[in-house]
Amino acid sequence: MDSPVELHYRYGPIQGGYRVKGELKEGIEKFKEEHKDFLSTAIKSNAQRISESSNKKLERLQANLKSAKRQTRKKGLQIDSLKVSNALSSSEIQDLKSRRGVKEVQYLKSKQAQNIKERSRTSDVSTSSLYNESWAPYTGFSLVNREETYQTFYFNNQVFDGDDTYEHETIVYEIDFANYDGYWSSNLPNAYYDTPFSDTYDIFAVGSSTASSLVTHTEYYTYMSLAPQSQPIVQVDIKGQKGHRIPSWCYSTWCIFADDTTGALSRNFNAPYQGSWTY
């Protein structure tokens, strides 16, 4: 069987994926471990913040995460789809569905399978402005270390429409701090993860391909697992990026192009770090 590209799951508004690096069996087990780690990090972080100050939006997110944790304990991690680069035989598909619990097998276009991403990226647009962008999130929380980046935020203004997209970025100004470790999760509508670019710095990003579906005063989150590298402390910025889909009927990360980027939502910091911000 051809090496799988990504495993994907969804539970209500919570969704995520894991990029398999070796054999499928080991990949599924790693996906389960990473999913448990994510739920543990998010629930623990949220509980501390809720105890410090009542936050109804965060409490609703916490309830969804706890429900996902109960569901995982009860039925295990339910894999909704497996994305592969080449077609599988009917026997291979049957084995995935009957033995591995995969609900659906999807195929990537050859351009996607080769990991060629020819789209513009403007991470430093609007690095400063007289007034904050009307579409930017209003306030949020950031936790960044060499094992993970966990972000929560909400919008108090709805200005997205049509084929608009939104991406939440953890920008790390040192490529030797951490690498993406394969797992991501978010409750953004039609969420996707954006493979980090490794040139002069790393960008760890998860976004929504249908930003017009974002609801004001709703706590959203993004999470990515990271693999520690040699650099222990680095400068980090959290930024938001507005974009659009081309063509409009395509919802994949491969069809998303950047239009504008916020200044530092977090007013920049050195990671490891956790704290709240208002933009």
DSSP labels for 112-148? HHTT-------TTTTSS-SS--TTS--EEEEEE-SSE
Cα radius of gyration rounded to whole Å, the chain: 18
Mean pLDDT of the chain: 85
For residue range 223-276, list pLDDT tens digits in order. 999 999 999 999 999 999 999 999 888 887 878 999 999 999 987 799 999 999
For residue range 14-65, list pLDDT tens digits in order. 999 999 887 878 888 999 999 999 999 999 999 999 998 888 999 999 999 9
Report the alpha-carbon angle 243-80-217, nearest 5.
45
Which residue carries 């569905």 as its tokens? 97
Q: Tell me if residue 236 falls in helix, strand or coil.
A: strand
- Long-range CB pairs of 44-47, under 8 A, 24+ apart, other chains included: 45/141, 45/143, 45/150, 45/274, 46/152
Q: How far is CA 95 from CA 103, 131, 193, 231, in A?
A: 11, 56, 28, 43
For the packed helices 56-75 and 24-52, what is the interaxial angle rounded to 10 degrees? 150
Asked if 96 contacts 102 with a C-beta cutoff of 8 angstroms, the reply is yes
Asked if 228 contacts 178 with a C-beta cutoff of 8 angstroms, the reply is yes
Asked if 186 contacts 221 with a C-beta cutoff of 8 angstroms, the reply is yes
For residue range 76-93, list pLDDT tens digits in order. 888 888 877 666 667 777
Q: Look up the pTM and report it.
A: 0.86
Could you tell me the domains of the chain? Answer: 4-113 (no CATH), 139-278 (2.60.40)
Task: Output DSSP code: residue 22.
Answer: S
